[in-house]
Structure 1
Amino acid sequence: MNTRVSLSSVLTEVNKAKGLPNAHYIDPNVFVEERDAVLFANWSGIGFGKDIPEAGDAYPIEFLGMPLLMVRDREGQIGVFQNTCRHRGMILVDEPGKIRGAIRCPYHSWCYGLDGTLKAAPHVGGPGQNTHEDMDYANLGLIRIRSYVWRDVIFVNIDGTAPDFEEVHGELMERWQDFDQPMYHGGDGASVHLELASNWKLAVENFCESYHLPWVHPGLNSYSRLEDHYNINELGKYSGQGTYVYRQFEGEAGEKLDDFAGLSEKWTEGAEYIVVYPNTLLGVQRDHGFAFIIDPISHERSNERIELYYAQPPEDTPEHEALRAQNAALWKTVFEEDVFVVEGMQKGRHGIKFDGGRFSPVMDGPTHCFHHWVASQIEKARSAPHAD
């Protein structure tokens, strides 16, 4: 059954456009179409460098049903592989841990290096024969997935067709070049995991805009008001919001978290929150940053994983532990306040007469940019020679 709906009403200017149709939130067939055209065809966030901090660390994940393995090799470089043995398709690593020697398949003990190369295939030529003339080790390494690490987020391009990450996101990287410096995860208290009864895109859309602040985030809005924000509308590239009023926490003696070094004046009281399409949400402030990864589980379920980072390692600044805890508690409250909205929009998408909704031409530019980009990716895939 063909569930495709025309997206022409999305692919127009914000003052005339409608949002993505209901099927893009509640139809499992459309979810599969978006998996291929949007999430597999672009640079999607799947994990964090902090997950594999040391050489030999391996971290298995499942992304849209695909088993992946993030690995840090002996030189400290991060690689991502399909977590599948090239012999009989066995899962290689089923929980995070340290690879002491080689990545060993638990089924027939085929072994792979941290660079994915096949190192050993015991008895492949018969008992006691570990080679065979028809077995080319060089072509039987693990399948490497294109990956790139930026702001500690591990991005992958599953289908291998996207332009290089720096080409796709170079303008955003330049916009935030002040923050192109070391940053350090805040430790155990700096992680937030949320489960959402909603489509992944609704979490992205909610992050895009500040329009909802007065009603959903009254505490945050009390000092970073709606009128203190600006839209970031880079059609076809990225979108989000910024604020001219970022207030640092102060301790009892007036102490503050350390700033990142050499920041321009823009960041003295400013901050920005931008979506790296399709599923990664980033925030930068003078003294800390954060990253969300939205993990699409199904057409009506998704997970959020949020990590907070600072200018100095927590172990070097124990005197700031209380400030980091206060900061993490504030953001956790803000993130949790959004859950009912995201899940409420998901329920609303089952209203069969809903037509995708209209955008405020002034307030909803960032959300429209995201819808327009998603629709563009889908239309591009539909028009490709191999498309049905």
Structure 2
Amino acid sequence: MSLSDLSDVLKPVAEARGLPNAHYTSEEVFQAERKPLWFDTWAGICTASDVPEPGDARPVDFLGVPLFVLRGKDGVVRVFQNICRHRGMILVTEPRKIEGAIRCPYHSWCYSHEGRLVATPHVGGPGHNTHPEMKREEMGLMEVRAHVWMDVVFINLSGDAPAFEEQHAKLIDRWGEFDVPLYHGGADSTFTLICRTNWKLAVENYCESYHLPWVHPGLNSYSRLEDHYHIMEPEFSGQGTEVYRQIEDEDGMRFPDFPGLSEKWDTAGEYVTVTPNVLLGVQRDHVFAILLEPKGAGVTEEHIHLYYAVPEAPEGLRRKNAAQWRVVFEEDIGVVEGMQKARGAWGYDGGRFSPAMDGPTHHFHRWVAERLMRSEGALAAE
């Protein structure tokens, strides 16, 4: 299937059409997306809080590529391909603590937390743990380029993307006031939602506020449609509100604010997608990250994490906040699943975009189309 004929997506928003149905339903297209949309840029795979202590390891299936994340003895979070360099055996099969070396369960080859090959039992024959032809320094684990920002572990599998700080300089600068320690709320501040939809529909829905009055009536009751604005930059898009309302407990207690915030954040909140798959939200007293994990063309897992300005935010408020956001995110499931079902309609032409309301969604469609077309040579490299 050719992916290059997406010229209608690239037209100005008032004339453009959305991505064709196959981009949401076809496993062939889903596989074709892997390199240009995921491997060649910075994608999120988990949070640093998933490996909180030295020695904590977590396997990750990154669109079919086996990886594992490890916080080393030095406290650094690293990502490796999850295979032994000997015969390609999987090394880490479940989240666990690795106190000593990373040992292959097949032939017991061992690696340091930095990925160096440190032991090769009987490689030169029984009782001989070295062999002149087997150079350990050439057979360490394959490390994947990684960067941690807003507690999200981003990776660039191809190694070809600009440095994370360069590629996302505008967002890092825009949210510089949130470059402070973030404290994960713990077990009651993380949950996963299963959506029977293509991952792109989850992004499209998150990018825009147009649906608020009908899908999120509770949220819209105080943060109205007219209180929102669009955010569109090359590598991120979304929306913000000028009316963010803090939650309170029965005694009027609120979460502490992040330190040093400017007056803008007294009432504002912003919600953007860092393409391809990290949905972030910032407010004066907490932030959240949603990592989209595609499980095929038609199923997506949403992994939600909530963070606060202090290490032990009030437990009751944490639970109330998580429950409130869960309601909002669950309200979205029906619409993204409904759009997925509709992609089976013959003759649907990708739909149209409101020039006034759908700018961020069209911006994301263009990002997808440009990368896919460039991968097929239909667009000249910038």
Whether the 8 Å contact between 1:183 and 1:311 is mirrored in structure 2 is yes
Q: 1:373 aligns with which of 363, 367, 377?
A: 367
**Is residue 21 from structure 1 mapped to residue 20 from structure 2 by the alignment?**
yes
Q: Deviations over 1:243-300 (max 9, x none)?
A: 0000011223322110000001110000000000110000000000000000011011
The Cα shift of 1:174 comes to: 0.2
Whether the 8 Å contact between 1:5 and 1:21 is mirrored in structure 2 is no
Match of 1:250 in 2: 248
Deviates more, 1:60-69 or 1:247-256: 247-256
Whether the 8 Å contact between 1:3 and 1:29 is mirrored in structure 2 is no
Match of 2:300 in 1: 302
* SS at structure 2 position matched to 1:298: coil
Match of 1:323 in 2: 317
Match of 1:97 in 2: 96
Q: Percent identity?
A: 58
| Structure 1 runs of 4+ with >6 Å offset | none
Q: Distance in 1 between matches of 2:206 and 2:287?
A: 15
Match of 1:133 in 2: 132
Alignment-mate amino acid for residue 126 of structure 2: P
Q: Deviations over 1:189-222 (max 9, x none)?
A: 1012011111111111110000000110111111
Q: Distance in 1 between matches of 2:108 and 2:344?
A: 49
Match of 1:69 in 2: 68
Match of 1:171 in 2: 170
Q: Deviations over 1:17-51 (max 9, x none)?
A: 11111111111111111111101111010000011
Flag structure 1 segments of 5+ consecutive residues without an equivalent. none
The Cα shift of 1:5 comes to: 5.3
Whether the 8 Å contact between 1:112 and 1:119 is mirrored in structure 2 is yes
Q: Distance in 2 between matches of 1:334 and 1:187?
A: 20
Alignment-mate amino acid for residue 375 of structure 1: A
**Is residue 8 from structure 1 mapped to residue 1 from structure 2 by the alignment?**
no
The Cα shift of 1:3 comes to: 4.1
Alignment-mate amino acid for residue 288 of structure 2: F
Q: Distance in 1 between matches of 2:209 and 2:156?
A: 30
The Cα shift of 1:81 comes to: 0.3
* SS at structure 2 position matched to 1:290: strand
Q: Distance in 2 between matches of 1:300 and 1:3?
A: 20
After TM superposition, the score normalised by the length of structure 1 is: 0.96
**Is residue 383 from structure 1 mapped to residue 381 from structure 2 by the alignment?**
no
Flag structure 2 segments of 5+ consecutive residues without an equivalent. none
Match of 1:291 in 2: 289
Whether the 8 Å contact between 1:23 and 1:30 is mirrored in structure 2 is yes
**Is residue 240 from structure 1 mapped to residue 238 from structure 2 by the alignment?**
yes
Alignment-mate amino acid for residue 356 of structure 1: G
* SS at structure 1 position matched to 2:367: helix
The Cα shift of 1:384 comes to: 8.6
Match of 1:87 in 2: 86
Q: Where does 1:179-218 land on structure 2 (aligned, <5 Å)?
A: 179-218=178-217
Q: Deviations over 1:352-371 (max 9, x none)?
A: 21111100001001111111
Q: Deviations over 1:94-114 (max 9, x none)?
A: 011110110000000000011
Q: Deviations over 1:62-98 (max 9, x none)?
A: 1111111000111111100000011111100101111
Q: Where does 1:141-180 land on structure 2 (aligned, <5 Å)?
A: 141-180=140-179
The size of the alignment, in residue pairs, is 380
Whether the 8 Å contact between 2:195 and 2:299 is mirrored in structure 1 is yes
